[in-house]
Amino acid sequence: MGNKTNGLLALLGLGALAYWKYKKSTPEQQQVVKDKINTAKDNLNRWGNDLKDKATDVASQAQNKFEEVKAKTEDSPSNI
């Protein structure tokens, strides 16, 4: 068995253990776990949106630069 398989089995084992502990815990403890998961999801979504915004900014800046250079080249006499 390769490292990937062992890693996957370890992850599955941890997941099963976590699930078992979750099922055995009180509703209050389960709510804490749910809150942590939701907070993590929100943070991931926020991070993803930040990355999208940054990518859009960079793309529009690049587009503006391209338009500037294009305009300058078109304005200069081309038959020198």
Confidence of residue 59 (pLDDT cuts 50, 70, 90): very high
Q: How far apart are CA 50 and CA 58, in angstroms?
A: 12
Residues 24-51: pLDDT tens digits? 999 999 999 999 999 999 999 999 999 9
Whole-model pTM?
Answer: 0.49
Residue 47 DSSP label:
H
Mean pLDDT of 47-72: 93
- pLDDT beyond 70 at 79: no
Q: How far apart are CA 41 and CA 9, in angstroms?
A: 24
**pLDDT for res 3:** 83
